Amino acid sequence: MAKLLDKQRYKCALGAMQTVQAISRAIPILHSGPGCAQKLSDSIGSSGYFSPNIFPCTSINEKDVVFGGVKKLETTIENALKVIDADLFVVLSGCIPEIVGDDTGEVVSRFEDAEKPVIYASTAGFKGNNYKGHEQVIDAIIEQYLEKSDEKEQGLVNIWADVPYQDLFWLGNIRELEKLIAEIGLTPNTIFGYERGIKNIDRIPKAQFNLLVSPWVSVGNMKKMEKKLGIPYLHYPTLPIGAFETSKFLRAVGEFAGIPSENVEKVITEHEKYYYYLIERYADMFLETRVMAKQFSVVADAQYSLGITKFLVNDLGLVPAKQFITDDTPKNFQEQIKAEFANLNYGIKAEVEFETDSYKIHNEIQSHDYHGYPLILGSYYEKEITEKLFGHYLIISWPVQDKVVLDDFYVGYTGGIRLIEDIYSVAVQRWN
Amino acid sequence: MPYKIAAATSDGVNIDRTFGSAEWFTIYEINGENIISAEKRIFRESEKIALENCEKGCGSGCGSGCGNGGQHSEKVDLISDCRCVVCTKIGFPIRKQLEKLAISVFDVNCSVDEALQKITSYYSRIDNHESLRK
């Protein structure tokens, strides 16, 4: 019998059009049916110079299924190059052309000599979700656009973290990571968001190393860059939220980059002093046990599930119930991620489950004894169930309906404080 | 189940007529992927001239644009028992009329043989619930 998936937390691989959109002045050209872009676009900051409603699309139909859609693709690319003022064109193929066997790569190769770079990524829905699609787009940039550079810029670091738009806080997070990296004396280079774009992509090959902050997304990209461009990488699997993890993170980066530890410690000390000053001022609220739930669950992708669980245990001393990872994590990464959940302070281990089916997740939440009302950090799907359980609810993962985030962030020292503010605002609202 | 394909061809070799300019359609009856028979259906001359002379746009009453009260063009009626029609080009209003009758339109430039081979192979796969993956 066919398996039903209730309320999934990701989109198809073509959702990677949002990864392209996050690169300033880059535009996707969709080789897909009409409506794909419409369905895949969220209204969470995706309007602007290029928005999903104007993405060039071959809008293939039954005729193209029978006779092939390559001709239409060629004219669509040709005309997009004529009328759209962009720096990078990324052709993304959807399910239909891939099933019927259109050779997108061959068509795109005809545009090698075009004035602007045209590359292509295979993002058919049946190949995976938009986390995979994101990797495909980065892969396409590495394989088809970047060239190895003999010239290296000492201290230049490419930072890779969240999947744009899929992650609510992608913009703020990457900016904050840049800031932290710069403080310990390195030069950050990122390709997503305001004023980055093609000039930063061009700098990628000159970097001293790649820094990946993610449990599994983009690990393949890092390996590819290491092989093709000769750039080593540091894989830091935990999104650093709050003082404990951020200090650990800065030490790891500093060590990898060969920065004298006293320089790193100086930055850490300064941040920690202010961080704990804030914590101390509110210590009475944290210690008032009636305010906060006794146990919590995070329902999110691996990035947030792991990052927030570590923060809540290590920095706030909360007790984890079961944690849920909803991004369809590839099997070969699951053990590694599980081990991270078992490596919490005070010898605490958090149980974690890789589950994409919300029906099952909600059943588990409902049947678990949280010793009172639970604290649930999840997506909009968790709102109803948390209300039913009279719990505290904070939205942190996709799909997002009831929160607006322009450039807020949870990463770093400041991000940790922001998350505390958000969680405790929810908690104190109950009592007042 | 046998079905019919209407082809706009003047010589029986190439698809070389637009829907509007076709004076006749060759109707191929197909069973599985085999052609069982072919017949020629000639369109009434008078209507053809009327179609050619009529102005495009709303309310002209010739089947193009709004205001024709949902009536079919007689040319559409001529092939209403077909599963699809193959021609080089087709106007939007006529395409809509055909779509309402669940008749697919393939506007392509190729030989009759190629068109029939691709279309029959496509229908055979979807009728037998086979994947279109190549």
Q: What ipTM was predicted for this assembly?
A: 0.81
Weakly modelled stretches of chain A, pLDDT under 70: 1-2, 289
For residues A184 and A268, give the distance between their C-alpha atoms in angstroms, rounded to a whole number.
9
What's the pLDDT score for residue B132? 82
Interface of chain B toward chain A, CB-CB under 8 angstroms:
104-108, 110, 118-119, 122, 131-134
Chain B closest CA to A127's CA: distance in Å? 14
What's the pLDDT score for residue B57? 46
What's the pLDDT score for residue B67? 46
What's the pLDDT score for residue B47? 53
What's the pLDDT score for residue B50? 52
- Write down the H helix ranges in A323-368: 331-341, 358-367
Would you say A405 and A169 are in contact if contact means Cβ atoms under 8 Å apart? yes
CATH superfamily for B3-133 is Dinitrogenase iron-molybdenum cofactor biosynthesis domain (3.30.420.130)
Selecting from B108, B110, B132 the residue whose C-beta is nearest the C-beta of A65 gives B132
Q: What is the DSSP track for A107-157?
A: HHHTTTTSSS-EEEEE--GGG-BHHHHHHHHHHHHHHHT----S---TTEE
Q: Is the pLDDT of residue B104 over 70?
A: yes
Q: Is the pLDDT of residue B56 over 70?
A: no
* B112 contacts in chain A (CB < 8 Å): none
Cut 0.95: pTM above it? no
Q: Characterise A33 by phi-psi region: left (phi > 0), alpha (psi -120 to 50), beta (else).
A: beta
Peptide bond before A164: cis, by omega within 30 degrees of 0?
A: no
Nearest CA in chain A to B120: A66
Mapped onto helix, strand or coil, the DSSP state of residue B39 is strand
For residues A286 and A290, give the distance between their C-alpha atoms in angstroms, rounded to a whole number.
9
| Contact: A67, B131; criterion CB under 8 Å | no
Best residue in A60, A61, A63 for a mutation probing chain B (most B CBs within 10 Å): A63
Stretch among A152-161, B40-49, B93-102 having the lowest mean pLDDT? B40-49
- Sign of CA pseudo-dihedral A278, A284, A285, A287: positive
What's the pLDDT score for residue B45? 58
> Which A residues 53-112 touch B at CB under 8 Å?
62-63, 65-67, 99-101
Selecting from B106, B131, B134 the residue whose C-beta is nearest the C-beta of A66 gives B106
Q: Kindly report the CA angle at B98 between B97 and B101, in degrees rounded to 5?
A: 95
The residues with which B52 forms a beta bridge, in sequence order, are: none
For residues B85 and A144, give the distance between their C-alpha atoms in angstroms, rounded to a whole number.
41
- Write down the H helix ranges in chain B: 45-53, 74-78, 92-100, 112-127
Torsions phi, psi of B26, nearest 5?
-90, 125
Token pair of A188, please?
């950050």
